[in-house]
Amino acid sequence: PDYLDALVEHARSRGADILMGAPFRDGAGRYYNGVVNLGTTELQFYAKSHLVPLGEFVPPELRWITSVLTIPLADFSRGGARQRPLRAAGERIAITICYEDAFGEELIGQLPEASVLANLSNVAWFGDSLAPEQHLQISRLRAIETGRYMIRATNTGVTAIIDHRGRVVAQLAQFSEGVLEGNAQPRSGATPYVRWGNTPILAGCALAVAVALLLALWPRRWRGVRNRI
């Protein structure tokens, strides 16, 4: 509590808000992997919705493994699928935690209300692999799809600010301690992806498969008609 109080005081002294990743518990005793807003705006929470199997919860089909190995592993609860973006710095911020931003159709549930995107990630367990850089590219795609700036805050990298065209305008080097300073321009409106999500893509794929099947089957049927004639 003292640490959180110090953060709140620090933010309020500067007329600012802090978005911080932290587990929290609701009134029913359920635990969530979440993001909390501290500062000048009223206290708000975002609860992670897309949990990682075996990392944040154990699927019922695999609970026997933890029983056999006597692993003391508790589950996080799943946040709601349609949560409102958090209010901070006078804007609505669409929050994703870790690889939630890999699922664009889930993210657009917070749009077009949100004017900025923010992703908070613990990527230390990927070490010096390609995964952190791949995650950055995923975030760039979400920025392009939604027409919004994306702010990424990570513990080992890549911390960055991405503009609405997917360009990285500021970033910190991986495995370095520092503070990233920059601007994220709030934006409004709805792109085609925000309006329709993956529906046009899925419809196009279904149409392509249907056409391919017709082209594959039509010559056979035509040959059968000619043989009967």
- The residue ranking higher by pLDDT, 158 or 61, is 158
How far apart are the C-alpha atoms of 35 and 115, rounded to whole Å? 18
Name 215's Cβ contacts closer than 8 Å, sequence gap at least 6: none
pLDDT tens digit string along 22-39?
999 998 989 999 999 999
Please check whether residues 116 and 229 belong to one and the same domain. no
Calpha distance 58→84 (Å, rounded): 27
Q: Residue 222: which domain range?
A: 198-229
Of 116, 125, 127, give the one whose Cα is nearest residue 19.
116
Does 122 lie in the same domain as 26?
yes
pLDDT, mean over the chain: 90
Question: Does position 53 have pLDDT exceeding 70, yes or no?
Answer: yes
Mean pLDDT (whole number) for 130-134: 93
Identify the CATH number of the domain in which residue 99 sits. Answer: 3.60.110.10
Q: What is the DSSP string of 98-158?
A: GGGGG-HHHHGGGTTT-SEEEEEE--GGG-SSSHHHHHHHHHHHHHHHHT--EEEEESSS-
pLDDT score recorded for residue 202: 95
Q: What is the pLDDT of residue 71?
A: 66
- pLDDT for 81 equals 84
Report the number of distinct structural domains present in the chain: 2
Considering the domain architecture, whether residues 117 and 228 belong to the same structural domain is answered as no
Q: Are residues 173 and 218 in the same domain?
A: no
For residues 202 and 163, state if they share a domain.
Answer: no
Residues 11 and 56 in one domain: yes
pLDDT at 217: 83
Provide, rounded to the nearest whole percent, the portion of the chain with pLDDT above 70. 92
User: What 8-state DSSP symbol labels residue 15?
Assistant: T
Q: Which residues contact 128 (CB under 8 A, 6 or more apart)?
A: 174, 175
For residue 17, list its beta bridge partners: 39
Residues 93 and 166 in one domain: yes
Query: Average pLDDT, stretch 174-196?
Result: 94
Query: Do 212 and 108 fall within a single domain?
Result: no
Distance CA 157, CA 175 (A): 6
Residue 67 host element (H or E): helix 63-68
Q: Are residues 161 and 58 in the same domain?
A: yes
| Model pLDDT, residue 92 | 96
The 10 Å Cβ neighbour count of residue 149 is 22
* Domain co-membership, 109 together with 134: yes
**Pair 123, 135: CB distance under 8 Å:** yes
**Which residues contact residue 50 at a Cβ distance below 8 angstroms, ignoring those fewer than 6 apart?**
99, 100, 103, 106
Place of tokens 């709030």: 186
Q: Kindly report, residue by residue over 190-229, the tens digit of the pLDDT.
A: 999 999 999 999 999 999 999 999 888 876 655 555 555 5
| Residue linked to tokens 């549930």 | 109
Query: In terms of domains, do 110 and 29 share one?
Result: yes
Residue 9 and residue 68 in one domain: yes
